[in-house]
Structure formats: C-alpha cells, structure tokens
C-alpha cells in the first residue's frame, strides 16, 4: 500500500501536498517534550500552514533559494520538521548538524547558538519553548523565529519550481555524509516505509534524533511517504515501561521505531 500514496510525488514537499489533498484534518505530527511536559498535536493543515509561513520567511526575508545550503542545528522537534519541509519547499538543501561556517544560513536551537555564530550568512534562532514561544531576549546576531514567522503569509509559492534532481539533503548515513536529491529523498523514504512496515493510517512513534538518516526516516520521512502520522518524543529517556505503554495506548501507536 505504501507505493500507492502520492505515487507522483518527486519532492518531499509533494508528499506534504498529497497529505493535504487527502485528509487535512487528520493528525500529522504529535510532539512530546518530556523535559518540559509539552504536548503539541498538529493536523496536516496546521503543519502545512507552519511550513508555508516558514517557507515565506526563508525565501522572502532571508533571501534563500535553490542552491543554498542551510545548516540545521536542531533536535528532533516539530519545528525542526517544519524547517525541513520549508527548505524542501523553497529548494534549499537541508544539512542537519552541518558545520555552520560552510553553510549559507544557519537555523539553531538554544544549544547550538555558539557554534552557529560561525555562519557568515543569515542566522535564525529557535527557542523551542512550549507553544512555539519566543526567547525572553533575542540572541544577538540572530532572528528570533517565533517573533518573525507569525507575520508571514499562509500560502507559499516558490519563485521557481523546485528541481527534483537538485540536492535536497546532506545527512549522516552510517558515519558518512550522504547527499540526496529531492527525488532520492522521496525514493529512500518510500523504501524505508516499505522496509519498516509503515502504511497509511499508522501511528509511528520515534525517539531518534534528526541528525542521521535513520532518525529522519523513522521520525518524519517514512511516515510522510506512507500516509501515516507521527508521534515524536524528545527527552524521554526517563520514562518507565508503564509510562511508554500508557502513551502508546493513548496515542494509538501502531509501530515504534527507536
């Protein structure tokens, strides 16, 4: 069944559009931060709206476009998923965990701000606070994502169509950096969904980080390619077996990956 969902998709942004064309009200990403107690659930429509706003910020305010490379110094988080899809909607290559000094722009959470200063291009900071809150004080030299994104448009159109054969992702794959085109990201995501047994309607739980292919596959791309939804958990090492069992039951988890 996984091969029939979004069969004509050639970029990750196409996968999101297919999900939107299907059932836009269904949950797409449910996020837990067990360090703060946060739980956020985003429907396909709400997630797409965040992606559109972030894409407009990326294209219009930051001047990014095809051929640019964005270092993403971010954990597995619902806002990281938004940024990945925004990069792919604009045609920017997303490079999780990459050296900011070699990137055209950098997007960083609180823990990466010092390293992110090495980027000579645009710098965006994410507070990663509950409900998408702002920094109490904007980090010097950075745009505060939470302060900038609300004013952006709710619909997005790239200035030029995204080339499916352009490099879309640079990611660690078993200790080596793998560079994938947008079309290859989709193909790998579909293959991963088939290998992992992810199908339409599944609820996939992942605790893996986003700086490796395995984490991106389990925690975003395979569910998106299969028409499934995601339960993404962060800072969850301290949960007991009983707590995991309760969460899986309450979220109707059908498959746990990592």
* Residue of 255, 257, 244, 247 lying closest to 212 (CA atoms): 257
Q: What is the pLDDT of residue 175?
A: 86
CA distance 196 to 10: 21
Q: What is the pLDDT of residue 10?
A: 97
> Which residues, listed in sequence order, are joined to residue 31 by a DSSP beta bridge?
40, 232
DSSP state of 140: T
> Which residues, listed in sequence order, are joined to residue 95 by a DSSP beta bridge?
71
Q: What is the pTM of this model?
A: 0.97
Q: Could you give the domains of the chain? A: 2-257 (3.40.50.12780)
Mean pLDDT confidence for 158-175: 95
Percent of the residues in the chain that have a pLDDT greater than 90, as a whole number? 95
Give every strand in the sheet of 255-257, ordered side by side: 38-43, 27-33, 229-234, 203-206, 255-257
Pairing of strands 38-43, 229-234: unpaired
* Residue of 31, 6, 35, 27 lying closest to 235 (CA atoms): 35
The lowest-confidence range among 67-71, 74-78, 152-156, 170-174 is 170-174
Do 199 and 2 touch, CB atoms closer than 8 A? yes
* Each residue's pLDDT tens digit, 39-85: 999 999 999 999 999 999 999 999 999 999 999 999 999 999 999 99
CA distance 14 to 25: 18
pLDDT band (50, 70, 90) for residue 1: very low
């Amino acid at each position: 069944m996984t091969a029939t969902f979004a069969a004509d998709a050639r970029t990750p942004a196409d996968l999101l559009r297919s999900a939107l064309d299907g059932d836009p009200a269904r949950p797409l990403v449910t996020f837990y931060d067990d360090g703060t107690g946060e739980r956020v659930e985003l429907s396909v429509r709400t997630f797409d709206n965040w992606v559109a706003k972030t894409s407009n910020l990326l294209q219009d305010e930051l001047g990014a476009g095809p051929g640019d490379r964005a270092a993403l110094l971010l954990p597995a988080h619902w806002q990281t998923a938004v940024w990945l899809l925004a990069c792919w909607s604009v045609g920017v290559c997303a490079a999780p965990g990459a050296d900011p000094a070699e990137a055209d722009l950098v997007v960083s959470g609180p823990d990466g701000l010092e390293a992110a200063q090495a980027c000579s291009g645009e710098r965006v900071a994410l507070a990663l606070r509950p409900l998408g809150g702002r920094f109490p004080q904007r980090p010097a030299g950075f745009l505060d994502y939470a302060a900038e994104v609300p004013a952006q448009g709710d619909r997005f159109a790239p200035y030029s169509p995204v080339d499916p054969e352009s490099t879309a992702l640079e990611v660690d794959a078993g200790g080596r950096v793998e560079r994938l085109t947008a079309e290859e990201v989709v193909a790998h995501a579909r293959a991963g969904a088939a290998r992992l047994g992810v199908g339409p309607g599944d609820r996939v739980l992942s605790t893996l980080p986003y700086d490796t292919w395995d984490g991106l596959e389990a925690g975003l791309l395979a569910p998106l390619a299969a028409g499934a939804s995601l339960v993404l958990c962060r800072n969850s090492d301290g949960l007991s077996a009983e707590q995991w069992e309760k969460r899986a039951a309450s979220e109707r988890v059908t498959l746990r990956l990592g």
